[in-house]
A and B are shown apart, each in its own frame.
Chain A
Amino acid sequence: MDVLQLIVSGLANGCVYGLIAMGFVLIYKATEAVNFAQGDFMMLGAFICLGLTNAEFMGLPFWISAPVAILVMGAFGYALDFVVLRRMFGQSQIAVIILTIALGFVLRFFAGLIWGHEPVSLQSPIAGRDVRFGGLVLGLDEVAVIAVTVVLTLALYFYFNRTKLGVAMQASSQNQLAAYYMGIPVKRVHSLVWALAGMVAAVAGILFASKGAIDPSIGLLGIKAFAAAVIGGFGSLPGALLGGLIVGLIEPFASRYIAAGYSQIMPYLLLFLILVFRPHGILAQVHRKKV
């Protein structure tokens, strides 16, 4: 029973990592840039939802504030690409990466100004309740996190494989020039990918905030999610989720069976081993152009 509970809480954490990792991969595949502010996007999404929901701020019902927070983060992602990144078109990827790192600091600072630096918890209807399966007691928050991640993953799968715009996003990430030739508005597609990444980050943030207290520095979770994305295979959405789940599952078992000082290293040790023995990640999606 203990083991099962560890698995569920590991999976729940892993889902959050996986969702952030998917945000990394979405943007990397589409624009070949890495958004190091992805963790801070998650933090911002969580705080927007918290600010709308919690009684000490606006006190709106959770079922209104959660979709609003997701849409706001979508608009934020779109605007960021439209206003800032489109101007950097043709600059090196390093420039974009540094810009996103700086953006992360700015977001953390502003979140601290508005919502304070003390940990606060989201007054979410799923926080702190239990579900019983036979003799097994699971947190409703953890079950909800897993369920929402499954639904969101299926929705994304459907979107990318069955809708025209989703396939066009894949197409422009596989061959940008050809996408231009086919009349796909590549720049707008990039902005929409940023919007999608913002929305996925907001979902991750709301789920994470339902599981415990948050403060403006939780965006640093993004580093762990980045490791997860690399473990799964940077450039593969299923890989990102898988990487997230692996990292999430390792943590509770490591902290249970390994001395405290060492357990924290485990995800990064795995990252190290993966990079040495399978540098493209577990689900590598490598395609070399044929001549």
Chain B
Amino acid sequence: MTAVATKAAQAPAHDAKVVLSVRNIESYYGPIMAIRGVSLEVREGQIVTVLGANGAGKTTLMKTISGVMDPEKGQILYQGRDIAGQSPDRIVRAGIVHVPEGREVFPLLTVEENLKMGAFTRSDADGVRQDQEMVFSYFPILAQRRNQAAGTLSGGQQQMLAIGRGLMARPRLMLLDEPSLGLSPLLVKEIFQIIRRLNREQGVTMMLVEQNAKIALEVADYGYVMELGRIVMADTAERLLQSKDVQQFYLGVQTEEAQRGQKRWKQKKTWR
């Protein structure tokens, strides 16, 4: 809560234009319904976070938006156009890029080649070169390692590369899946500061899926809480941070009742 504390001053208005509007989508893994009618909105210039435990359907939601999975039902309106069920390359061309969970870099390609692959859908060589310099200015370590195979980078550097590779597509909307996964607390802080800078300076709208609810709510403007494939809470990030349920179940804050020895799982969450 250091550098990020100033965000309220410049946060975009909550009545900014809606970039992405997900309406009642349902997605299945085989016979299992992983998303049970989710609706949410992402506004221009915002960082929107989706919180939730393992298996809540957060990653499935992202895969459905980026076209890697197709929804059975529902609409995904991106800038007013329904993109549900389109192929991933069309969705990348439209301006949505998905930075997947677990980095997923191309291990034997160099850092620079990985970045080039991020720009696969683009044909403006000059713009690609400029964007590569832009990525290097945010992640100087990648410039140092530009000719090194991505598989030899550390976990934090690979995460930086994954974000940088996503930026190379020059997205309007970036889907970030668990950027904090497996990183040390110091690195997590660094990555999230860069995410916020990218959002403010490059104007990239972000949708952020996280298990680390504290840091996610600190950088985000708006938040959704998912449980078992449904959205159970939606509010501004500040109010979610104050909410008793979020504090207790996602931030691990000890409430008075818990201190009195009452079992946590016996309590009812207010939304049930």
Instruction: Report the minimum CB–CB distance from A176 to chain B (whole Å).
Output: 10
Interface size on B, residues (CB 8 A): 31
Q: Residue B148 at the A interface, CB < 8 A?
A: no
9-residue interface stretch from B77-85, B107-115, B228-236, B241-249: B107-115
Instruction: Report the minimum CB–CB distance from B144 to chain A (whole Å).
Output: 20
Q: Residue A106 at the B interface, CB < 8 A?
A: no
9-residue interface stretch from B39-47, B92-100, B216-224, B258-266: B92-100
Q: Which residue of B lies closest to A285 (CB)?
A: B108
B117: A residues at CB distance < 8 A: 167-168, 171, 179, 182, 184
The answer on a CB contact under 8 Å between A181 and B97 is yes
Interface residues of B in 131-181 (CB under 8 A from A): 151, 155, 158, 165, 169
Instruction: Report the minimum CB–CB distance from A239 to chain B (whole Å).
Output: 14
Q: Residue B87 at the A interface, CB < 8 A?
A: yes
The answer on a CB contact under 8 Å between B92 and A182 is yes
The answer on a CB contact under 8 Å between A181 and B106 is no
Q: Which residue of B lies closest to A167 (CB)?
A: B113
B66: A residues at CB distance < 8 A: 181
CB < 8 Å neighbour of A182 from B87, B107, B169, B182: B169
Interface residues of A in 165-198 (CB under 8 A from B): 167-168, 170-171, 174-175, 177-185
CB < 8 Å neighbour of B106 from A171, A183, A285: A171
The answer on a CB contact under 8 Å between A185 and B89 is yes
The answer on a CB contact under 8 Å between B155 and A290 is yes
Interface size on A, residues (CB 8 A): 21
CB < 8 Å neighbour of B108 from A174, A177, A182, A183: A174
The answer on a CB contact under 8 Å between A168 and B151 is no
B104: A residues at CB distance < 8 A: 175, 177-178, 181
The answer on a CB contact under 8 Å between A183 and B169 is yes
A185: B residues at CB distance < 8 A: 87, 89
**A180-B120 CB under 8 A given contacts A170-B109, A290-B151:** no
CA distance A287 to B105 in the complex (A): 13
Q: Residue B199 at the A interface, CB < 8 A?
A: no
**A170-B108 CB under 8 A given contacts A181-B68, A183-B121, A291-B182:** yes
Q: Residue A129 at the B interface, CB < 8 A?
A: no
A179: B residues at CB distance < 8 A: 106, 117
CA distance A287 to B109 in the complex (A): 12
**A289-B107 CB under 8 A given contacts A164-B116, A182-B120, A182-B169:** yes
Q: Residue B88 at the A interface, CB < 8 A?
A: yes
The answer on a CB contact under 8 Å between B108 and A167 is no
Q: Residue B71 at the A interface, CB < 8 A?
A: no
B108: A residues at CB distance < 8 A: 170, 174, 285, 287
**A181-B113 CB under 8 A given contacts A164-B120, A175-B104, A285-B108:** no
A178: B residues at CB distance < 8 A: 100, 104-106
CB < 8 Å neighbour of B109 from A171, A181, A289, A291: A171
Instruction: Report the minimum CB–CB distance from B159 to chain A (whole Å).
Output: 12
Q: Which residue of A lies closest to B114 (CB)?
A: A171
Q: Residue B118 at the A interface, CB < 8 A?
A: yes
Q: Flag B31-51 by CB within 8 Å of A: 1 or 0 each.
A: 000000000000000000000
Instruction: Report the minimum CB–CB distance from A175 to chain B (whole Å).
Output: 5
A289: B residues at CB distance < 8 A: 107
A167: B residues at CB distance < 8 A: 109, 113, 116-117
Instruction: Report the minimum CB–CB distance from B25 to chain A (whole Å).
Output: 19
Instruction: Report the minimum CB–CB distance from B170 to chain A (whole Å).
Output: 12
Q: Which residue of A lies closest to B87 (CB)?
A: A185
B100: A residues at CB distance < 8 A: 177-178, 181
Most buried by B among A168, A182, A289, A290: A182
Instruction: Report the minimum CB–CB distance from A154 to chain B (whole Å).
Output: 19
Instruction: Report the minimum CB–CB distance from B30 to chain A (whole Å).
Output: 12
Q: Flag A273-291 by CB within 8 Å of B: 1 or 0 each.
A: 0000000000001010111
Q: Which residue of A lies closest to B121 (CB)?
A: A183
Instruction: Report the minimum CB–CB distance from A159 to chain B (whole Å).
Output: 14
The answer on a CB contact under 8 Å between A174 and B88 is no
CB < 8 Å neighbour of A183 from B120, B151, B182: B120
CA distance A184 to B92 in the complex (A): 9
Q: Flag B181-197 by CB within 8 Å of A: 1 or 0 each.
A: 01000000000000000
Interface residues of A in 219-272 (CB under 8 A from B): none
B118: A residues at CB distance < 8 A: 182
CB < 8 Å neighbour of A168 from B68, B88, B120: B120
The answer on a CB contact under 8 Å between A184 and B68 is no
Q: Which residue of B lies closest to A177 (CB)?
A: B104
The answer on a CB contact under 8 Å between A174 and B116 is no
B87: A residues at CB distance < 8 A: 185
The answer on a CB contact under 8 Å between B109 and A174 is yes
Some 5 contacts from A to B, beta carbons below 8 A apart, are A174-B108, A177-B68, A181-B66, A182-B118, A183-B93
Q: Which residues from chain A sit less than 8 Å from chain B, CB to CB?
A: 164, 167-168, 170-171, 174-175, 177-185, 285, 287, 289-291
Given contact pairs A182-B121, A183-B120, A290-B158, a sample of 12 additional A-B residue pairs in the complex whose CB atoms are under 8 Å apart: A170-B108, A171-B106, A171-B113, A175-B105, A178-B100, A179-B117, A181-B92, A181-B104, A182-B120, A183-B169, A184-B120, A287-B107
